[in-house]
Amino acid sequence: MSVLSYGLTGKVVVVTGGSRGIGLALARRLLAEGAKVTICARKQEGLDQAAAALGGGDNLLTVPAHIAREEDVDLLFGQTKARFGQVDVLINNVGMNLLTPTLIDTEAAAWHKIIESNLTGTYYCAKAAARLMKGQGAGKIVNITSTAACRPAPGMGIYGIAKAGIEMLTRVLAAELATDNIQVNAIAPSMVKTSFSAPFWSNQDVHDQIIKTIPAGRLAEIDDVVEPVLFLCSGGANYITGQVLAVDGGSTVI
């Protein structure tokens, strides 16, 4: 894929879940664009490995934070503002799932863990970012959701509910923040070839069944997600807000 430019030089971007997968790829591209980037993850070890992979440098800040804890989120944005002076863009990338049985057979603890890590954490981060952005007079929030938000799948029930909540959160925030010149949008990928989804696509039979549902005839690669996210972070998306963009190879149109 050719490398596009999105005019993000000097922008301060917070990427949650930035130590691996899509988040790490986003951080790498943002740094290459000349942005100043904060990544967070729950484990310092993962952040250290990510910093080494990204080459460190003055434009990268790593902050250990569990986004389902509001005090951690406050620390994340406080340290970012202290280091870089502002926050221009938030990319809510954190996502986690536990393969669960039917909803009525799932323990409450699994419900709380999945909802808090996905939906509640996205809310906490968006709230903290928006408060800073309102004072600056501009900002962008991009949430990573999933096609699981609109299509039930075995083992993905609670995850899909959490992602559906993120899509409504996106619309509500977009309506509430539009007059503050803050655009809030979401990207909804289908299955992406990352370690997160490996339990599915690494099984050849399951992989082949999934491919049958995708008109493009392949799973999404990480760059397929990175590019549209960066577009929504850019000035080219200044009049786009409250939208959920499916990045799914056509799977939701059949």
Known catalytic residue at 159: yes
* Structure-derived torsion over alpha carbons of residues 115, 230, 85, 48, reported in degrees to the nearest 10: 70
CA distance 51 to 47: 6
Judge whether 120 and 177 are in contact, CB under 8 Å. Answer: no
Catalytic residue among 6, 124, 159, 239: 159
Closest CA to 190 of 100, 233, 250, 242: 250
- Rg of the chain over Cα atoms, rounded to whole angstroms, equals 17
Q: Residue 65: how many CA atoms within 13 Å on its side-chain side?
A: 30
C-alpha 63: how far from its chain's center? 16
234 in Cβ contact with 7 (< 8 Å) = yes
- Cα dihedral 186, 249, 114, 41, rounded to 10, equals -70
What is the phi-psi region of residue 120: left when phi exceeds 0, alpha when psi lies from -120 to 50, beta otherwise?
A: alpha
Catalytic residues: 159
